[in-house]
Structures are given as C-alpha cells and as structure tokens.
Amino acid sequence: MPGFKNLHVTILRILVLGLAIAGLSTAVSSSRAGDEDAPADLSGDYTFTGTLPDSGECSGTFVVKKRMTVSTHDGPRYNSYDVKMAYKGGWKGVGVGTFIDGHFNFAVAPNDKYLAVVTYRPVVLSPRMIELKRELWNKEHNSKERHLYEVQGDPWWADVWTYKHYGVFFRADGSWGFENLGPEHLGDTPPLGDGTWAFVRHYYDNKGKQAILDYKSGQVAAEVKGDAVKISMAYTKSNGKLDEPEVNAGLMPDANTLVAVFNGSGEEAVGTVSPAGMTMTGRICDSSDLGLTSITLTVPEDVAKKNPGLFR
C-alpha cells in the first residue's frame, strides 16, 4: 500500500468474509466470468473530422491498434492501444489510448516514448466497506503509530480503497498501473475538477501484480478552464521536496471522470471520445495552450461488428 515509506508500520489483516463488495462500481465489475466480459476491442482504421480552436475545419486518419490486455486481481480488464493520428496538412502524432467507462481516452504527440494517459475516477465502496474505512480512520487518530492495512485475498480494489479517487494509466512504452489521489482515508479530498492532490503511482504487470518498489509520488493540481483542464504535475525529489511542475492538459468527459496526459515534452494533447451511433465524438485538448478541437471519428464497419453493443 503506497504512502508509508520510512514509517513504522504495523500490518493488520482485515477479514473480508462475505462482505458486499460488489458495490465498488457498476461500471467496473469486481468479478470476471469469461470471454463475454472481455473489454471492447476498438482496433481499426478510423477517419475523423473536426473543428479547430480558431473555428477552422480539420480532417484526417486515426489508427487504433491493440497493444495488450491487462488484468486486475479478480476485477476489470483493460485494453491498451497504440494510436496514430494524422491531420490532412501534415501534422502527425503517435500515442496511447484505452476505453474506460464508455470513453475512449488517449494521448498523442509527435514523438514521446513515455507519453501517458490517465483516467481518474472516484473509488466507489459498498456501505459496509465505507463503515469499515471509517472505523480504521478513527483508530488512526487515536494511535501514535501509523498502520498499513491489508485486505484478505488481495482483491483488485485493495490498492485504492483507502483513497477517494484513483487513476488507471497507460504509457506509450507499454507500462501501466494505478495512481492514487490522496489524502488517504477520510481526509479532505476535493471532488474531481478543481483541486490539488498528493499522488502515488504504482506500476503493474499484465496480470495485475503491483511492483511495490517501482513507484512515483508527487502532487497534481487541476484547474478547470471552461471545457479544458489545466493539469500541473510535480514529482517528489529524493530530498522529499517537489520538483518544478509539468503543465499538461486534461478533459472531463463526465462529472466523475478526469482524463489527463503526462510525460509529454510540450507538444502533446489529450483526447476523449464516446460512442454515438456509428461515430465517436468528443474533444482534443493541447497542452501548449489548452486549445480545444471538437472531433468526430467515423467507426469502421469491422469495428462496429466486433462491438454490436456500442455502435448502431
């Protein structure tokens, strides 16, 4: 569990025997039945049209190719995609994407090997787990020691359940993992949108095993500017202080989701599109000036046939 480095730790095992944990999320199932629960495969060659920040029109191609399918412990699976975007007129970008909660979220740039897209959302717990979390929080306030709590069976949500928000990130080099937004437990955490959070980023293998020693921490701040979001991300240095923040872009496809790009070099953009008939519509936001481009992807027939529940 992140956030306890260099602290005296007492490990308490919490028995979760038959608790109603299915209420963690309706959009992110906590069980997996088989291939029928496989994530949607959106691989294909799309075309797009759009409206630029200066009201000019744009068009081009948008190629989506599945890189890998990753799993969490007894929980959701995700596809990560390589993305290539080319505008008529010359601009080309490559990047990474994933489909989460009905939104295809992606990041593109001319050439950034470690470019990443992260999708933040609330940690939704069952009433019983919320009460248990409150009990543990009260114990923390009455104790002189810090504690590390583990959930028996190590379900997928055990790495995020003491936080109010978490992110799923994918990097263009194939890395992926979870990013927790603090503070932990019942701290005063603002809702997604305007706010400042501590974060701890953990990397995972394709089967959902956390690399305990491979993580980054720091602070992320979001400032909503109309339909765009200014993201400032600063990493923690070896002396415990924050580095100079990187300024990136973000979007909110709905009130409970924040999508952001990180690890860019200044020319990156973040985008989010959602199925609408035989198209996917949404926006792209440039990190350099938070300029917004409205975009519509035309869904190829082969992609629609693979995903009849998404496109009609």
Q: What's the pLDDT tens digit per position in 239-284?
A: 999 999 999 999 999 999 999 999 988 899 999 999 999 999 999 9
pLDDT of residue 19: 35
Total residues found in the chain within this entry: 312
User: If pLDDT is split at 50, 70 and 90, which confidence band does 154 have?
Assistant: confident
Given pLDDT bands bounded at 50, 70 and 90, which one contains residue 126? confident
* Distance of alpha carbon 195 from alpha carbon 254, whole angstroms: 16
The three-state secondary structure class of 265 is coil
| 289, pLDDT greater than 70 | yes
Cβ–Cβ < 8 Å for 131, 32: no
Q: Who has greater pLDDT, 118 or 204?
A: 118
The confidence band for 162, taking pLDDT boundaries of 50, 70 and 90, is confident
pLDDT of 1 over the 60 cut: no
**E strands present in the chain:** 9-14, 44-51, 57-71, 77-87, 92-100, 103-109, 116-122, 146-151, 165-171, 176-181, 195-204, 210-225, 228-235, 246-254, 257-262, 269-276, 279-286, 292-298
Asked if omega into 110 is within 30° of 0 (cis), the reply is: no
Contact 170, 116 (CB under 8 A): yes
- Contact between 211 and 204 (Cβ < 8 Å): yes
Q: What percent of the chain has pLDDT over 70?
A: 85
pLDDT at 10: 31
Pick the more confident residue, 115 or 125.
Answer: 115
| Strand ranges in 72-194 using DSSP code E only, listed in sequence order | 77-87, 92-100, 103-109, 116-122, 146-151, 165-171, 176-181
- The amino acid at 173: D
Question: Distance (Å, rounded) from C-alpha 136 to C-alpha 185?
Answer: 8
Give the chain's end-to-end CA distance (angstroms, integer).
43
Q: How confident is the model at residue 74 (pLDDT cuts 50, 70, 90)?
A: confident
Cα angle vertex 204, ends 232, 124, to 5°? Answer: 70
What is the predicted pLDDT for the residue at 270?
98
Q: Which is higher by pLDDT, 293 or 214?
A: 293
Residue 109 CA to residue 92 CA, distance in Å, equals 8
Question: Token pair of 57, please?
Answer: 């029109």
CA distance 226 to 105: 19
Q: Are 132 and 204 in contact (CB under 8 A)?
A: no
Q: Which residue has the higher pLDDT, 75 or 223?
A: 223
Mean pLDDT of the chain: 85
pLDDT band at 213 (very low <50, low <70, confident <90, very high): low
Supply the pTM of this predicted model. 0.86
Neighbours of 242 (CB within 10 A): 13
Interval 130-136 mean pLDDT: 83
Token duo for residue 267: 């020319």
Q: Give tens-digit pLDDT for 23-66.
A: 333 233 333 445 667 899 999 999 999 999 999 999 999 999 99
DSSP string across 199-223:
EEEEEE-TT--EEEEEEEEEEEEEE
**What are the extents of the domains in the chain?**
41-121+157-306
- Mind listing the pLDDT tens digit for each residue in 174-195? 999 999 998 766 566 789 999 9
Q: What is the pLDDT of residues 3-26, one digit of tens each?
A: 333 322 333 434 333 333 333 332
